[in-house]
Structure 1
Amino acid sequence: MMGHLVPPECDVPLEVLKFNVDHTLPLYLDGDSMVTWWANIMATGKYPGLNHVVKGGLSIFHGPMVESSFSAMGDIITQKSTKMSMATFNAIQTTKYVLKSRCQTAIQMFKRENVKLSTVDKALCKNIRTAGTKDKTRRKQALLKKKERQEEFGCQPITSAEQSRKIAVEKDRQAHVRHRAAQKRKKALELLVQAKKAKK
């Protein structure tokens, strides 16, 4: 049944039985990283077939409920928003769901009867003002965590074609600057030599 996931020489059912009675496995506590825990097990090399199955399972998309997200994703995620974070997507999806369930627009939902005297939702105002800063902080923390995990597991960061092109262009620019500087030094030396010869 899992022949397409594991090498043919592996007996996964037998490995599962051995895994269930293995007292040498590292202790897993609430809050621990599942990836790190399994990485420690994989490092032992005890369960090669089971490790293949686990790798496949951990690579499955497990963000918001997939079935209910596909219809909304087409309206939210476009070519200009492909790098949207999961937290932002969840917030947009929740807002769209609430507005749709109440049959209201955003203006209708947050409309104040009296602009001057109606109570202001201070929490809402605070969230609006700090949303951008929180998102930037969250992205920085996620990037740092990603780099730490890459260093921990010895992974090399994957660069996109655009990033590779920018790196190549920057290298060419630096090489051009060095070449021009070398030419200027050479010309200055030639002028200096000519000046010394003229004095003689």
Structure 2
Amino acid sequence: MPGWKRSRQVITPRTGAARRSSPGWCAARWKGANMGADRRAEIKMTPAEQEEFLRPTGKMALSTIGPDGYIHTTALYYAFLGDEVAFLAKRKAQKVVNVRRDPRVTVMREEGEKYYDLRGLTLIGDGEVRDDRDALWTVGEYLYRTRHSGADDSPADVERIVERSIHNRAVIVVHPKRVISWDHRKLRAAQPAGKA
């Protein structure tokens, strides 16, 4: 109808109240949605940036699915087994039990306080529990080296410390299927002076 091009009434489902709508209003919403997608692409990290962000190591939030179906989340120091994120945990820990039952996991690391300083990475995928000595030793030694980088322990001391740290432990390796990243520092250039 010709009149629709100028304006039309829309009955909202909750209140039954009428509101004025127009093609211009719809176009603005669609444009906003596209701008949001563009903004997400703008702050996405490159593979090299993801590597640089994760390699200093630290803590990540590991989320698994508990026996009651609710999310079980813990913060753990992480390491690398090859190119994949890995955690060391007690063999009977709830997170290990969860991954053995249901491998779906999500891990996340974020840093920064102010909005334009925030950056982070989320990995969504499957977890694998490993308790072979090679995996345990690699992860245990990695955690020791990164958390005690200034220590002057002898090779024998390092071996003893790592051996003790992996006793009765298991490794959870994350095989990511999807990566989500954000680096709000990339938005600073678009901000007027003093706004960041």
- TM-score with structure 1 setting the length: 0.20
Q: Which has the higher contact order (CA 8 A, sep 6+)?
A: 2
Structure that is richer in helix per residue: 1
- Between structure 1 and structure 2, the one with the greater Rg is 1
Structure that is richer in strand per residue: 2
